Chain A
Amino acid sequence: MTTTAEPRRRRKGGGGERRMVPPAKFTSYYGRPVLKASPWEKEIPAYLFLGGLAAGSSLLGAGADLTGRPALRRASRITAFAGITVSFGALVKDLGRPERFANMLRVAKPSSPMSVGTWILTVYGPLAGAAAAAELPLPGVLGRLTRLLGRPAGLAAAAVAPAVASYTAVLLSDTATPTWHDAHRHLPFVFVGSAAAASGGMALVLAPLGETGPARRLAVGGAVLELAVERQMEQAMGLTAEPLHEGRPGQLMRASRALTAAGALGAMLGRRSRVLSAVSGAALVAGSACTRFGVFEAGQESARDPRYTVVPQRERLQRRG
């Protein structure tokens, strides 16, 4: 039978989060989804996280290079290259036909964020690689060449890096998945904040105290941006923000907020403590990962429940009259 369902009751002990929209009745076909959730698995949120980590690290690496902070430069360049390599591998692995990855390069389509992203990564990856190669103790001509290329490659990677960090928000939002699409005005800012927090945090783990000033500021600024815009985003979204509070995505988002806030606080207080800096940095990295997995999972949930498709569309029709 066709079902007319009441909205689910809120989880008990939910910390008194207020209901964002009044309860709404809706009709569905046997409660089945109207949309299909993406077939993507954990590789995609992992890619979102690692891509952001890499992008922020390239920015830190270039800044460290220009301002004479060799340890920060080394840590950031290597993090950037490792991050983008693993995330690229995750992207390919998630394809239905990984051996056909190169078909991505047969067109360049501005209407496809995945096409745009592939080209961004195609430019960024080798630059991040060349910057990281300069950190390797290579002998002879090869060593001289990589060290010569390190700075220009690092600067070029840093110029592309902000696009690497922000386009992934468009990748998710340019879908019919209700929670991802409705987040489109805010998600790029959440993601660049998350990228800054993760990369600053990783530098706090890896680099000595004397050189981490900029990383600390980037981490705290990123954490504040992420926390503030994420809050705004949920208020602007209405019903489709609900999956961000419930179930597993809700747990991930709460963990993200706690880790990001604690990490930022620790990063501010831990200027003189190597241990506190490293622990705070690790918390920020973990918080960023939780954000990406939380947003990803919330979108998947929103596609699986016809309520998030039907109710907002009905309301839109009613507003139009």
Chain B
Amino acid sequence: MTSNPARDAGWVDPPPRKGFFTDTSVCIGCKACEVACKEWNAVPDDGMNFLGSSYDNTGQLGASTWRHVKFIEQPASTAVDLGLPRVGLPGQQDTGERTDFRWLMESDVCKHCTHAACLDVCPTGSLFRTEFGTVVVQEDICNGCGYCVPACPFGVIDRRIGEKGVTKNVGIAQKCTLCYDRLHDGLTPACAQACPTESIQFGDLDELRARAQERVDTMHDQGIPQARLYGADESDGVGGLGAFFLLLDEPEVYGLPPDPVVTTKDLPEMWKKAGLAALALLAGAVAVFGSGS
């Protein structure tokens, strides 16, 4: 039933596919995941910036940011007006300037796609599919061609910049490994281990998907119809995500693409068109020598 990218990649009798289920509805924005990831993986400093975007001073996932907690401030919309007092003195006229408010928080990460464009386009074989169904860069092989960077439909992977000899792996593409080293020892990835609210859940993907569906059903029953799963559907454009999410608004609100498609889906047609164009050029070259003087 569940696709098995590890087996498709040639692993014989691989272990169950591992993944993350990030339930954003219980994220408290503590950023313990960001810190744990950096500590365990020895990911270098990604800048000390003030971005003026709520509590998000991290910015985006990148070569030196493998977990990124996003903070979205929205006017809250309650389904039912409970007649509760609003901000201000009792009886004061509502000026209309203040509204109820809600915070959405989401710990973003590499999606470890079933059909991973970064892996498809990698010309050195540095990016590979692990036995756990995850996608990992072999840092001793990557030559920093940068092709994976524009190929990723989620803008996750990037080439590390910095001073050669000071920062490690400068010039090499880097991203979340789903703690490949920890998985070998049966450990939970650092971010999930550090998460105090179990917003980040690690486990066998089958089990996580079942648990996520149960959670979203419960939330719907509780009158939260906005709750939805992102990346849990294997029929989507990337074959489903190894790291998927429960969101409380449209994906683009969180900076996620609403309908990601792996670019290599169109590659057969691209090669066909390129072949036709090459033939056209060859035919043209023959024709220009065959006619006139």
Q: How far is the CA of A29 from the CA of B70 in the complex (A)?
A: 9
| Nearest-neighbor residue (CB-CB) of B106 within chain A | A29
A28 touches B281 (CB 8 A): no
Number of interface residues, chain A, beta carbon within 8 A: 87
Most buried by B among A32, A63, A177, A191: A32
Question: What sequence of 0s and 1s flags, for each residue 171-209 of chain A, a beta carbon within 8 Å of any chain B beta carbon?
Answer: 001111100110011111101100110000000000000
Q: How far is the CA of A140 from the CA of B122 in the complex (A)?
A: 46
Question: What sequence of 0s and 1s flags, for each residue 266-278 of chain B, a beta carbon within 8 Å of any chain A beta carbon?
Answer: 1101110111111
A177 touches B281 (CB 8 A): no
* Binding stretch for chain A, among B85-93, B188-196, B207-215, B252-260: B252-260
Q: How far is the CA of A188 from the CA of B276 in the complex (A)?
A: 8
B73 sits at the interface (CB 8 A): yes
B266 touches A175 (CB 8 A): no
Q: Hey, which chain A residues are within 8 Å of B126, CB to CB?
A: 103
B122 touches A112 (CB 8 A): yes
A18 sits at the interface (CB 8 A): no
A38 touches B149 (CB 8 A): yes
Most buried by A among B51, B123, B258, B275: B123
A2 touches B74 (CB 8 A): yes
From A176, A303, A317, give the contact of B263 (CB < 8 A): A176
Q: Hey, which chain B residues are within 8 Å of A101, CB to CB?
A: 143
B293 sits at the interface (CB 8 A): yes
Q: Hey, which chain A residues are within 8 Å of B51, CB to CB?
A: 30
A310 sits at the interface (CB 8 A): yes
A221 sits at the interface (CB 8 A): yes
B285 touches A96 (CB 8 A): no
Interface residues of A in 36-89 (CB under 8 A from B): 36-40, 55-56, 59-60, 62-64, 66-67
B250 touches A181 (CB 8 A): no
From B73, B157, B256, B266, give the contact of A184 (CB < 8 A): B266
B117 touches A100 (CB 8 A): no
A112 touches B281 (CB 8 A): no
From A64, A195, A217, A316, give the contact of B259 (CB < 8 A): A316
- A218-B121 contact given A2-B253, A26-B252, A97-B172, CB 8 Å threshold: no
A124 to chain B, nearest CB (A): 12
The A contact surface, by secondary structure, is helix
A103 touches B124 (CB 8 A): yes
B152 touches A106 (CB 8 A): no
A250 sits at the interface (CB 8 A): no
Q: Hey, which chain A residues are within 8 Å of B271, CB to CB?
A: 110, 170
B250 touches A176 (CB 8 A): no
Interface residues of B in 216-271 (CB under 8 A from A): 250, 252-260, 263-264, 266-267, 269-271
B259 touches A313 (CB 8 A): yes
| Nearest-neighbor residue (CB-CB) of B256 within chain A | A34
Interface residues of B in 163-216 (CB under 8 A from A): 170-173
A27 touches B146 (CB 8 A): no
Q: How far is the CA of A161 from the CA of B280 in the complex (A)?
A: 12
A30 to chain B, nearest CB (A): 5
From A96, A191, A215, give the contact of B172 (CB < 8 A): A96
Q: How far is the CA of A40 from the CA of B146 in the complex (A)?
A: 7
Question: What sequence of 0s and 1s flags, for each residue 12-27 of chain B, a beta carbon within 8 Å of any chain A beta carbon?
Answer: 0000000000000000
List 6 A-B pairs, minimum CB-CB distance, nearest first: A96-B144, A96-B171, A29-B255, A162-B278, A100-B143, A188-B277
Chosen A-B contacts, 7 in total, with CB atoms closer than 8 Å, are: A33-B60, A95-B145, A104-B145, A106-B141, A175-B121, A189-B277, A218-B285
Beyond A55-B281, A106-B124, A188-B276, 4 extra complex contacts between A and B, CB < 8 Å? A94-B146, A111-B121, A112-B123, A115-B123
